[in-house]
Amino acid sequence: MSYSLLQFSSFGELLKYLDSQIKSLEESVRALHQRYEVVRARAERVRELERVLEDLLGEKLPTLNEVDYMGLRIVINARAIDELTVLEETLESQREILESLLKVRELIQRLGGSLEQVGGGGFTILVQTLNGVPLRILLKEVE
């Protein structure tokens, strides 16, 4: 969990920033999804092979190939299934952030115009983010 503080001189500037973050995240999700599809096909073949071997042997195959080193998990001899798990977790996280950014962008777009009309643009916008998603907006009079 990481907090950041960003400063903008207008809601338009904030929206441009959000648009660039959204575009970057959409590109990242697209690239990860393409890689996911390739790895998923390989992982399915490995899973099917493991199922056949387990049926022939009559027992579950050992899958211990991950060690914990002081809180850092290291996968030894990573298989397509291991990579697929990491890709799934990463895609899920990035999609959640993207969805949050899109919602926040919509709210700010509605809110921003009204506030700038009332305030006359005489304020600085401080934005506290949590993992890149705006969490709190502070409107501060220009000093």
- Intra-chain end-to-end CA distance of the chain, in Å: 32
Q: What is the pLDDT of residues 95-129, one digit of tens each?
A: 999 999 999 999 998 887 676 666 556 789 999 99
CA atoms within 13 A on the CB side of 109: 11
Q: What is the pLDDT of residues 76-87, one digit of tens each?
A: 888 888 999 999
Higher per-residue confidence, 19 vs 65: 19
* pLDDT in the model for residue 129: 96
* pLDDT in the model for residue 56: 84
* pLDDT in the model for residue 30: 97
Give alpha helix (H) positions in the chain.
Answer: 11-57, 80-119
* pLDDT in the model for residue 143: 66
- DSSP letter (8 states) at residue 76: T
Q: Provide mean pLDDT across the span 34-50.
A: 92
Strand, helix or coil at 141?
strand
> Do residues 135 and 101 touch, judged by C-beta distance below 8 A?
no
